[in-house]
């Protein structure tokens, strides 16, 4: 049996540890071993270092050092991810905000430390900022928005997410790497080729599941004994609960990858109005494009939203005309460019890299 330490958290490389350095020696360029490790982590983010090394053509110690180095550089975080609505953890809404460029910095600072904010970016175009809010009930969104902007100085437009058409870790930014069908070992992958998207499991998360996911959002490779201690449960009970979450597909553990690591310099949020009878077909078609990282059906003026990662700004024209223009039933399209991304999956981002914030709070789903 593999020891819990072999499955443990990411260990940063020691000073002068060349075995943890990519073959080309460039801190910002992954080599084939790095890419193979990311693919193996996407297949099973809690696999032992020995298994990850075997899948990537390197030793267990090299695998741990390589991933540790990517972590230290801020390019990768191993986390647990969940589709909050489908998995019974709550509801989410993408909120477009307008406040003027002079107020955007203050607004982002207020939003960044909020535990309800899972994703946060500043935009250019018809909105100054977008935040994904995660709450327990849809009715909680109104009071939360009022709390965020108590003086009425921010114009908000909330688009509650009804159904996602992408799954965590089944799509790397821009599909730069070959991906396994399922995101975590033994987890069933949703049928993303269907017009229905990711179907809800019709279960409600238990307090134990919420606490477990909250811990694994911080570190998806938290050793079982540490996780059990944090939850005040036995290792047997903790293992059983974790295996059930993963086997059901409600939680997936894998690598959150900074697009810059893969040479993707332009990030877009797209807002689309589609005829209701063609919404499923349009969402599926959008989700299957190689550049699209996230696609979801929503309520509101725009009923289909997506996020795309492109090589550079010059690629936006072709994406807008050839990809968005080809979607069925489109009535209106609004393309906004992410100027700065400040949060992804609850993880803070500065200058395109993940950082560990001292004031970070537990995700609200816990």
Cβ 96 vs Cβ 157: under 8 Å? yes
Confidence of residue 366 (pLDDT cuts 50, 70, 90): low
User: So what's the pLDDT on residue 360?
Assistant: 60
- pLDDT at residue 321 greater than cutoff 90: yes
Cα 312 from chain centroid (whole Å): 21
pLDDT in tens, 111-134: 999 999 999 999 999 999 999 999
Cβ 4 vs Cβ 224: under 8 Å? yes
Nearest to 260 by CA among 342, 353, 344: 353
Alpha-carbon distance of 43 to 10, in angstroms, equals 17
pLDDT in tens, 18-30: 455 553 444 568 9
Confidence of residue 202 (pLDDT cuts 50, 70, 90): confident
Decide: helix, strand or coil at residue 194.
coil
Mean pLDDT of 295-303: 98
Contacts with 196 (C-beta within 8 Å, 6 or more apart), sequence order: 163, 280
User: So what's the pLDDT on residue 22?
Assistant: 54
Alpha-carbon distance of 366 to 205, in angstroms, equals 10
pLDDT in tens, 130-144: 999 999 999 999 999
Alpha-carbon distance of 76 to 320, in angstroms, equals 29
Q: What percent of the chain has pLDDT over 70?
A: 84
């Amino acid at each position: 049996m593999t020891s819990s330490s072999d499955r443990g958290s990411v260990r940063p490389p020691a000073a002068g540890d060349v075995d943890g350095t990519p073959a080309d020696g460039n801190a910002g360029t992954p080599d084939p071993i790095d890419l193979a490790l990311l693919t193996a982590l996407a297949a099973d983010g809690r696999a032992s270092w020995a298994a990850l090394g075997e899948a990537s053509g390197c030793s267990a110690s090299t695998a741990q050092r390589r991933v540790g180095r990517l972590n230290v550089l801020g390019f990768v975080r191993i986390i647990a991810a969940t589709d909050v609505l489908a998995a019974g953890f709550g509801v989410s809404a993408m909120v477009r905000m307008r406040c003027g460029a002079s107020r955007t910095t203050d607004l982002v600072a207020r939003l960044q430390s909020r535990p309800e904010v899972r994703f946060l970016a500043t935009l250019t175009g018809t909105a100054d900022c977008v935040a994904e809010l995660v709450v327990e009930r849809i009715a909680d969104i109104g009071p939360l928005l009022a709390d965020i902007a108590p003086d009425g100085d921010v114009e908000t437009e909330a688009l509650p997410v009804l159904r996602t058409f992408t799954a965590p870790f089944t799509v790397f930014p821009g599909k730069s790497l070959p991906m396994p069908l399922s995101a975590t070992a033994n987890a069933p992958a949703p049928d993303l080729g269907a017009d229905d998207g990711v179907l809800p499991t019709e279960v409600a998360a238990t307090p134990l599941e919420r606490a477990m996911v909250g811990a694994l959002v911080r570190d998806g490779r938290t050793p079982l004994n540490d996780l059990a201690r944090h939850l005040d449960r036995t290792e047997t009970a903790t293992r059983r609960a974790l295996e059930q979450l993963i086997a059901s597909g409600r939680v997936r553990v894998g690598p959150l990858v900074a697009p810059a690591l893969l040479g993707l310099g332009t990030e877009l949020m797209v807002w689309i109005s589609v005829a209701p009878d063609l919404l499923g077909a349009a969402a599926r078609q959008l989700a299957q494009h190689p550049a699209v990282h996230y696609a979801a059906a929503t309520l509101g003026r725009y009923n289909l939203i997506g996020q795309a990662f492109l090589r550079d700004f010059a690629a936006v024209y072709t994406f807008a005309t050839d990809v968005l223009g080809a979607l069925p039933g489109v009535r209106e399209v609004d393309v906004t460019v992410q100027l700065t991304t400040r949060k992804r999956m609850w993880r803070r981002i500065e200058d395109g890299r993940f950082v560990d914030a001292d004031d970070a709070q537990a995700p609200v789903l816990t």
